[in-house]
Amino acid sequence: MKKWSTLVVFFLLSFNNLVVKAEEFRIVTENFPPYNYKDSDSIRGFSTSIVKTMLEMLKTSPKNGIEVMPWVRAFETARLKKNVLIYSMGRNPKRENLFHWIGPIAPSKYFLFSLKGNKNINIEKLADAKKYRIGTVREDVREQYLLSKGFVKGKNIFPTSTYFSSFLKLRANRIDLWAMNEMVAFHLLKEKGYNPNSLLKRSFFFENLSKKGLYMAFNKKSSIQLVKRFQGAFSKMKKNGKYDELRKAFFK
């Protein structure tokens, strides 16, 4: 009886892996260091290490490798096309029913940053920020959150296509505040030769938004079997300690 049980388990695991192999899928992401980013010919970062570990566990690979593209393009690709996995993505009510969610896979803290030399910024509650010019990236989770709270594009929200270009606008006093993930902001500035500790001031903390963390997600029309395989692989990583091992290595 034990022999038959072992054979059944082996068959089911093999079948699960065959389903993933047979099902073509894509993985898209953006340059969002240290979570995910392109370094020469490699895709690196904490979230990327989780995705790659899951692929190894499932003995599969995406159709075109991991594709790195601007955020708006990555988001629209995942939103419109089935069997597309996107990471690392913030979760909010606007996105909730568009995707099958896996995670959270990474912690995240969001702030409105101002320049340390700017003495005119005074924000006690989010509504106070409406009188300032805020830089965002189009369709990112912080922009969507601000829009849901009554902020208006062209009035107090000024989008760009990249995170660093938004910082350059802050540096040039073309905006007053930069809505940004803390780790990404500090990583980007150090990479470009700036000292973020001497330049940036945390003027407002997005407490509720930060609690959710970052996720990976499949398009809602994706194969449910494919989604379940990836959800299962992530659950296994959490249970066997591999996730904690990777997290400790990246967030020392």
- Per-residue pLDDT of 154-184, as tens digits, reads 999 999 999 999 999 999 999 999 999 999 9
Where the chain has pLDDT below 70, the residues are 1-22, 252
Identify whether residues 182 and 236 lie together within a single domain. no
Q: What are 86-98's pLDDT values in tens digits?
A: 999 999 999 999 9
In this prediction, residue 251 carries a pLDDT of 79
5: in domain: no
The reported pTM is: 0.86
In this prediction, residue 7 carries a pLDDT of 46
In this prediction, residue 41 carries a pLDDT of 86
Mean residue pLDDT across the chain: 91
C-alpha 187/C-alpha 191 separation (Å) is: 6
| Sheet of 214-219, strand order | 66-68, 26-29, 84-90, 214-219, 99-106
C-alpha 58/C-alpha 21 separation (Å) is: 8
Hey, is 25 helix, strand or coil? coil
Residue 132 belongs to what domain range? 110-210
Q: Cα dihedral angle (235, 104, 164, 28), rounded to 10 degrees?
A: 40
117: in domain: yes
7: in domain: no
Q: How many domains does one find in the chain?
A: 2
Query: Would you give the DSSP letter of residue 222?
Result: S
Identify whether residues 120 and 189 lie together within a single domain. yes
Amino acid letter, residue 134: I
Contact by Cβ (8 Å): 25, 230: no
CATH number where 117 lies = 3.40.190.10
In this prediction, residue 22 carries a pLDDT of 54
C-alpha 135/C-alpha 160 separation (Å) is: 7
168: in domain: yes
In this prediction, residue 47 carries a pLDDT of 97
